[in-house]
Amino acid sequence: MPGQRILLSHGEGGKKSRDLIRKIIAKRFENPILSPLFDSGLLGRLDGEIAFTTDGYVVTPAIFPGGDIGRLAVCGTLNDLSVCGARPVAISCALILEEGFPVETLETILDSMKTAAAEGDVVVACGDTKVVEKGSADGIFITTSGVGIACGGWRPAPENVRPGDRIILTGTMGDHQAAVLIARNRLELAAEILSDVAPLSSMLLDVLSAFGGSVRFMRDPTRGGVGVSLNEMAESSRARIVLDESRLPVAEAVRGVCEILGFDPIYLANEGKALLIVDGKSADPIIETLRKARYGRNAAVIGKVTEGPPGVLMKTVIGGLRAVDYPVGDQLPRIC
Amino acid sequence: MKFIDEFRDPGLARGVVDSIRTIWGDRPPMRLMEVCGTHTVSIARAGIRSLLEGAVTMVSGPGCPVCVTPDGYIDAAIGLGKRPGTVIATFGDMLRVPGRISSLEKERGKGLDVRILYSPLDAVEIAAGNPEKEVVFLGVGFETTAPSIAGAILSAAERKIINFSVLSSVRTIPLAMEVLASDPEVRIEGFLCPAHVSTIIGSDAYLPLTRKFSIPCVVAGFEPLDILYGIYLLLRQKKRGVAEVENEYARVATPSGNRKALDVIAKVFRECDIGWRGIGVLPRTGLAIGEAYASFDAQRKFGVEIPFTEEKTVCRCGDVLKGKITPRECPLFGMACTPEEPYGPCMVSSEGTCAAYHKYGVQ
């Protein structure tokens, strides 16, 4: 519907609300659980251990190079389930729209949610739509929750991490945040950087079904990037992680942006990557499996677990050793 | 990445480290100061201290502009920001620096209009787009930043933008290094001179240091190999018993510096005495806005004083900035003073010595 904008009346429960929900939103996600539009989506019997997660998405701009808030909202929740070893069953979709938001943009975003859900083999089982006055939100906010079933009984076991285990990252670091930063600051750079936003369920579940017992623990390094996720992993597994700087995969263009702006890609958010701590002996075959997957082509062993007090260290390119700590606040533009 | 990876080459780095070990043998470690905050961070990030243990003792100097900005300046900036219709425009590092009672970050939470910029020119644009507002740029930095601040003032003057001004806290490096060189407690045996500052002022600016104090000076770039090779050159001078200015960073910095940038600085600024947090008032190390551009000087425009008082607290930022102690020797380090809750400025700035030790130090 070109030119049309979201009005407060789209959220007031009357005919306009009904039309928006039925003709624009529910139509796209059509499936037997959602389509009756009951007050709940009835999932039926689920067999196995259930995983449940939720996440809110507020990214600006809503459409960025390589994706949009819709794809992000679906993939983020799918990935949270997948790194806990759960096969996604259903997700919810709650939209908060700002008065004046272009309906056409909403349709684009919903289309990418549909595509991502199909790719991740999950249904949108329920949803909600609210409209707030202009100025009370930033265009569009999306919250998705997800339910999944544990794959083959696997569950994260940080307590099993031991010296000799390897750290695997499934691809390059920082692409998502670098893409958003560039879009937000309208930086004109020669090389295009695309967000890595992608559903990892099928790749990670394949790894688990082949190597379940060797995978101790997985995380998706979103906010705070690989640096923060690894610190959290080191903390919960009481492990000392030593990274090898020369093995950290970073796309050339992302490195360039980081050099210019003074950011460290290890702290930039990813939306289509996972960190795995695996048994040292299985690291190579796991890498081989990951690299065959669409979103794992640049998977690499980036470090190992060693004896010593918990924490994250890095062997630098030139052979020095230093700590990789939690960052404080946002990385800020620097003076010189 | 082209032109960067070459300066991080592991094989070459090993070679330089071996040369350092060979040339220095088992002499007691040489006490070197890296003056610039970017060097401090680079040394910590690359883990250079661990590589050169025993051969050199690296102490960090006062070369982080945020760290040496006195708390009175922050108070003055907050005071200005509280005037109705005022926008405070600043580089991001300044946001969390504690003044005497508050910080710009805390005041922003209470409604102060503080905007983070990458370039002083952006502040001129904000002023041009909001003629009803007064835009005050926090001019904090060294010779590297001075030309762009001067450029912003010249641009505003040319465009007759009258609602833009600068609260200047710009400092210059070489005379401050002389103060450190003459301090017997600091005991510097060699200076690793800043890269970017030297591209502006030129490597000849350090000649007086070598002549007056017989301290070797090497201008070095910020990449790990630059730093390692710079250290090697300093050790070589010391071993030969000479004190000269050598320029490892000749690919960018020249002996006489950047004439155009120096001209712009001279046109807009005049030399002044200025207080360095934790160090004291150092004569002729500040740049105030000159008479010709007085209408862009926030201090004069709004009648603001920037008081400087020597603080007497347990915080030892002053001694850290002078290289008298390493951060771990401060009783507050990592306890009452952390990057989340900084007590002193050296912990706030990303280029602060304490922050670098805290972030990259191996426990």
Residue A335: its pLDDT value, please?
A: 44
- Residue A331, domain member (yes or no): no
CA–CA dist A290, A279 (Å, integer): 15
Looking at the fold, whether A139 and A167 belong to one and the same domain comes out as no
Chain A residue with Cα closest to B3: A256
Of A259, A328, A331, the CB nearest to B339: A328
Residue by residue, DSSP assigns A193-226 as --------HHHHHHHHHHHGGGEEEEE---TTHH
Looking at the fold, whether A223 and A259 belong to one and the same domain comes out as yes
Task: Test A321 with B351 for CB contact under 8 angstroms.
Answer: no
| CB contact A190 to B (< 8 Å) | no
Residue A263, min C-alpha distance to chain B (Å): 11
Q: Please calculate the CA angle A226-A230-A232 and round it to the nearest 5 degrees.
A: 125
- Residue A330, domain member (yes or no): no
On the question of pLDDT at A336 being above 50, the answer is no
Number of domains in chain A: 2
Looking at the fold, whether A178 and A217 belong to one and the same domain comes out as yes
Of A74-78, A92-96, B327-331, the one with minimum mean pLDDT is B327-331
Asked if the ipTM is above 0.90, the reply is no
- B205-216 pLDDT, tens per residue? 999 999 999 999
Last residue of a domain, one of A153, A174, A205: A153
- A9-46 pLDDT, tens per residue? 998 888 999 999 999 999 999 999 999 999 999 999 99
Residues A124 and A92: beta-carbon distance below 8 Å = yes
- A115-134 pLDDT, tens per residue? 999 999 999 999 999 999 99
CA–CA dist A112, A124 (Å, integer): 13
- Residue A83, domain member (yes or no): yes
3-class DSSP state of A114: helix
- Residue A37, domain member (yes or no): yes
- pTM score: 0.83
- B66-123 pLDDT, tens per residue? 888 988 999 999 999 999 999 999 998 888 888 888 999 999 999 999 999 888 999 9
Looking at the fold, whether A131 and A176 belong to one and the same domain comes out as no
Range of the domain at A76: 8-153
Looking at the fold, whether A141 and A209 belong to one and the same domain comes out as no
Question: What single-letter amino acid sits at B315?
Answer: C
Task: Test B13 with A319 for CB contact under 8 angstroms.
Answer: yes
Question: What are phi and psi for residue B281, nearest 5 degrees?
Answer: -80, 125
CA–CA dist B104, B102 (Å, integer): 7
**How distant is the alpha carbon of residue A324 from its chain centre?**
22
Bridge partners (DSSP) of residue B190 are B32
Last residue of a domain, one of A129, A153, A177: A153
Those residues with Cβ within 8 angstroms of residue B240's Cβ, 6 or more apart along the chain or in another chain: none
C-alpha separations of B78 from A298, B19, B87, B246, B336 in Å: 48, 51, 11, 43, 25
Chain A residue with Cα closest to B348: A328
CA–CA dist A170, A168 (Å, integer): 6
Looking at the fold, whether A165 and A144 belong to one and the same domain comes out as no
Residue A255, min C-alpha distance to chain B (Å): 8
- Tokens 């991740």 found at: A120
| CB contact A332 to B (< 8 Å) | yes
- Residue A187, domain member (yes or no): yes
3-class DSSP state of A42: coil
Looking at the fold, whether A239 and A259 belong to one and the same domain comes out as yes
Cβ neighbours of A35 (radius 10 Å): 13
- Residue A283, domain member (yes or no): yes
Of B92, B118, B359, the CB nearest to A325: B359
Residue B193: its pLDDT value, please?
A: 97
**How distant is the alpha carbon of residue B320 from its chain centre?**
14
Exposed / middle / buried, residue A221 (Cβ in 10 Å: 0-12, 13-18, 19+): buried
Task: Test B95 with A332 for CB contact under 8 angstroms.
Answer: yes
Residues B359 and A325: beta-carbon distance below 8 Å = yes
Q: What is the mean pLDDT of chain A?
A: 93
Last residue of a domain, one of A153, A186, A201: A153
Q: What is the CATH number of the domain that holds A293?
A: 3.90.650.10
Looking at the fold, whether A162 and A149 belong to one and the same domain comes out as no
Q: What is the CATH number of the domain that holds A123?
A: 3.30.1330.10
| Token couple for B71 | 């708390």
- A232-266 pLDDT, tens per residue? 999 999 999 999 999 999 999 999 888 877 789 99
Cβ neighbours of A159 (radius 10 Å): 11
- A159-210 pLDDT, tens per residue? 999 999 999 999 999 999 999 988 887 776 667 899 999 999 999 999 999 9
List of domains in chain B: 1-315 (3.40.50.11740), 317-358 (no CATH)
On the question of pLDDT at A1 being above 90, the answer is no
- Residue A241, domain member (yes or no): yes
Looking at the fold, whether A33 and A175 belong to one and the same domain comes out as no
- Residue A189, domain member (yes or no): yes
Looking at the fold, whether A125 and A93 belong to one and the same domain comes out as yes
Q: Give me the residues of chain B with pLDDT under 50, please.
A: none
Looking at the fold, whether A82 and A175 belong to one and the same domain comes out as no
Looking at the fold, whether A250 and A272 belong to one and the same domain comes out as yes
| Token couple for B78 | 């907050």
